[in-house]
Structure formats: C-alpha cells, structure tokens
Amino acid sequence: MSRMRQRHLFTKTRKEAPKEETAKNAKLLIRGGFIHKEMAGAYAYLPLGYRVLQRICTVIRSEMDAIGGHELHLTALQDKRIWEKTGRWSDEVVDNWFKTTLAAGGEVGLATTHEEPLTNLMTEFIHSYKDLPVYVYQFQTKFRNEKRAKSGIMRGREFLMKDLYSFSRSDEEHNEFYERAKQAYHNIFERVGIGAHTFITSASGGSFSPYSHEFQTLTDAGEDTIYLDREKKIAVNDEIYSEEVLADLGLSKENLETVTAVEVGNIFSLGTKFSDAFDLTYVDEDNKKQPVIMGSYGIGPGRLMGAIVEVLGGENEMLWPKEVAPFDLHLLQMSDDDTTYAEAEKVYRALTDAGVEVLWDDRAASAGEKFADADLIGLPYRAVVGTKARDAGGIEFTDRTTDTVRIVSVEELVRLVAENA
C-alpha cells in the first residue's frame, strides 16, 4: 500500500520506551511503533518499520543487481554433514550456533551464514569456464547465539542479512568484481543517507590482498574501535592496527582519529578455502581443472536501519532519509470540521495521484499529539491543513530535510514533493 490513513494504523506511538531497553535505536523505534521487542536480541518489524526495512532492501537489491547479482533464497535449516566438511559445525570453531535434533534423527542447525551450503550447491552447476563467473545473493534470516544483545536491532540473535557470494575463474576476475562490489557498497550507504558517516575500513582476513574490508558507521552506539583518516576517508580496525599495516596502507599515525563505530557491511576475499573443501572446480579452456575463487559480501539491513536511527535520530524525533522513509509525506489534518476534512482529502488525492506516498493523520487527536507523533514517525515532508494554515493562504509545507517552511497551494505542494519523492 503506497498510502495510508493513520486511523487504520494499528500501532500507536508511546511516550516512553520500555525501561530495560538501553539502545537509542530500539528506544526510538519502539516509541514510534516501528518494532516490537519479542525478547533480547529478537525484534518484530511492525508495518512502519517493515516499510523502512523493505526500502533499505530495495536499495541494496538494486545495487546488487547492477553488478550482476542474481537473487536466490537458501534454507535456514542446515545439514550438519555439509558443515563438517569445513570443520565449522564444531562449537569450538563457531561458538554461536543454534542447533537442534530432528524428530526423525540427525542434527540440524540454524544458519549463521551460508558459504558451506552454497558452495556445496554450486558443485551441481559449475563445471566449465563457461559456467563462470557467478554472483548470487539473498536476503535471509540468520541465527546467532550472540552473548551480548544490548544494541537493539543492531545486534540480533535473529537478524536479516543480505549475503552475496562471488564465484570467479581467476584472481584478476575476482579482484575486478571485488572493486565493483566495493563501489556498490559505497552507493548503498550513500543512498540510505549515512554515506558521510560511513568509512571503508581495512580488517583482517582476505586471501590475496592481506585485508578484508568493513564498512563502519561512526556512532557511539557501535561496538568497534577504528582508526580513521578523515581526509583520506579510510580507516583501519583494531585487529590489524600496527606500524606495519599503517605503512602498507600509506597511513600515518598523526592523521588518525580513534573513533567508535558499527560494522554495517563487509566484503571478503575467500580464495579457495571453500571451493577446496567441497571440490568446487571448473575445467578451463585448456581442459585443465582449476579451483573456483570465491568472495563473500554481507550487509545487515536491520543493523543498517538501527545505524541510521543512531546517526539521524534525536531525543524525541526521527528524520528518515528520503530513500528509506516509510512514507514520503505526513499530512496532518488539524481539526475535524468538514472544510478541513475536505481540504485534507483533496491534498491526499492530489499527492497520491502524483505518486507521492502519504500518511494522512486523520485521527481525532490534538494538534500537540499529532506533531509529537509526526516527529517520532519522522517522515521527510510534512503538510499541515487547518484553519491556521488556511488563514495564512493555503497549506503549511515543511521540508524537514532542509528545515524550510512555507505556505503553498495544492498544486505547488504536488510540484514540490513529486519532484523529489
């Protein structure tokens, strides 16, 4: 539904967040009716929150499709035998599995990630150099028995992940894709509104380049410490921070700031670690058997949503960037009289006809309540209809992203918003 009358929205805002909730993102999102806390580390997404999550996924999906990704959907249930091939079934190696036993016998786990099952699956389809390269991705619920779950939706025990996996013929082919993925990630963080706060960060692990890369968003709510060169817009994480690494990356200590951040995404060259374990090979042009070169590329859409709130949210208000806002415009109807209702309906029609997504606050509530709720819901545009605005000559329009307010006609409103929505 691309428009909604607020009297039909079953969620209600709340003045206070639950006492036990400590993370700013969860507090604001619960107060706005975006999410519901099921238990520590598990949150339900309510209609407003689910719209935001979906819009974040839409941005990610478009960037993954643009670099040649094909979307699929693997299973959450995992077969122990597949994971034993890499040793990652063991609780000593992976310490956050949720495992259970089948009634029919046999052990299964809930997926923490998907390298193993996907590599195994690809052995059915990849045989020749003609079958490569392949880039596949999914949006999947992952399960991790995290020890700490105090960062709201930024660290769930159940959470959504977009994970893309690349299968390439050579290091060069892999590296070329890796760079494209890097750029796609920059685009994503820019489009969801936290590009200026998000920095590519060299981290440990990686197969030819000695590094993998994390995308770290600066916020005190993060759990990571990174060393940032603001001018160069690159950082190093604390696992690899050393004189040697700084020299290698062309960074100097004097230019680095120690900052707190949250990892919103990461990209990783896997080399042949998984293809070796599953004997995923292809026959090249000279009829020689070669191992497939792999990479993995993750983003947590829920964590990203939490990071957006941490960065852009205030004490009692949110301001969603345009690409991810649950609706474009909040239409506030200031009284219940027939004239105001008719005017609100006219504005609602005109805007939605022009493709603008509108949330119409048509409830019988006080102006104070409506404004407080609108602040919590956090839409980028706001239009107020009522006696006061009418006396001033029309509709009071606020572009909250630029903090500009003016009185406009319906036609002007449609033009101003439809242009930018």
**Which residues make up the interface to ligand ATP (CB under 6 A)?**
113, 144, 146, 155-156, 159, 161, 263-266, 298-300, 302-303
From the list Mg ion, ligand ATP, none, partner contacted by residue 191 (C-beta under 5 to 8 A by kind): none
Task: In angstroms, give the least distance from the CB of 87 to ligand ATP.
Answer: 17
- Say which DSSP state 223 is in: S
312-325 CB burial, b ≥16 within 10 A, e <16:
bbeeebbbbbbebb
Task: In angstroms, give the least distance from the CB of 263 to Mg ion.
Answer: 5
Is residue 326 classed exposed, middle or buried when 0-12, 13-18 and 19+ CB atoms within 10 A define those classes? Answer: buried
Comparing CB distances to ligand ATP, the nearer of 239 and 399 is 239
From the list Mg ion, ligand ATP, none, partner contacted by residue 146 (C-beta under 5 to 8 A by kind): ligand ATP
Two tokens, residue 227: 């060393």
From the list Mg ion, ligand ATP, none, partner contacted by residue 298 (C-beta under 5 to 8 A by kind): ligand ATP
Comparing CB distances to Mg ion, the nearer of 55 and 114 is 114
Comparing CB distances to Mg ion, the nearer of 106 and 205 is 205
Comparing CB distances to ligand ATP, the nearer of 189 and 327 is 189
Task: In angstroms, give the least distance from the CB of 237 to Mg ion.
Answer: 8
Which part of the chain contacts Mg ion (CB under 5 A), choosing from 95-103, 257-265, 279-287, 377-385?
A: 257-265
Distance CA 304, CA 298 (A): 11
From the list ligand ATP, Mg ion, none, partner contacted by residue 54 (C-beta under 5 to 8 A by kind): none
CA-wise closest residue to 49 among 37, 28, 35: 35
Task: In angstroms, give the least distance from the CB of 300 to Mg ion.
Answer: 10
Two tokens, residue 28: 């604001």
Cβ atoms within 10 Å, residue 147: 10
Distance CA 69, CA 119 (A): 16
From the list Mg ion, ligand ATP, none, partner contacted by residue 144 (C-beta under 5 to 8 A by kind): ligand ATP
Hey, what amino acid is at 117?
P
Task: In angstroms, give the least distance from the CB of 379 to ligand ATP.
Answer: 25
Task: In angstroms, give the least distance from the CB of 229 to Mg ion.
Answer: 20
Comparing CB distances to ligand ATP, the nearer of 264 and 356 is 264
Partnered with residue 269 across adjacent β-strands are 295
Q: What angle do CA 194, 158, 3 make, to 5 degrees?
A: 55
From the list ligand ATP, Mg ion, none, partner contacted by residue 300 (C-beta under 5 to 8 A by kind): ligand ATP
CA-wise closest residue to 235 among 209, 215, 264: 215
Residue in the shown chain whose Cβ atom is closest to Mg ion:
263
Two tokens, residue 79: 């077969």
Contacts of 322 (CB under 8 A, 6+ apart): 193, 328, 380, 401, 420, 421
Find the DSSP H helices in 32-97: 47-66, 80-84
Two tokens, residue 271: 């080399």
Specify whether the CB–CB gap between 42 and 157 falls below 8 A.
Answer: yes
Strands of the 404-408 sheet, one edge to the other:
3-5, 358-361, 329-333, 381-385, 395-399, 404-408
From the list ligand ATP, Mg ion, none, partner contacted by residue 330 (C-beta under 5 to 8 A by kind): none
Which part of the chain contacts Mg ion (CB under 5 A), choosing from 113-121, 263-271, 289-297, 371-379?
A: 263-271
From the list Mg ion, ligand ATP, none, partner contacted by residue 299 (C-beta under 5 to 8 A by kind): ligand ATP
How many residues make contact with Mg ion (CB under 5 A)?
A: 1
- Say which DSSP state 292 is in: P
Task: In angstroms, give the least distance from the CB of 264 to ligand ATP.
Answer: 5
Comparing CB distances to ligand ATP, the nearer of 132 and 160 is 160
Contact set with Mg ion (CB under 5 A):
263
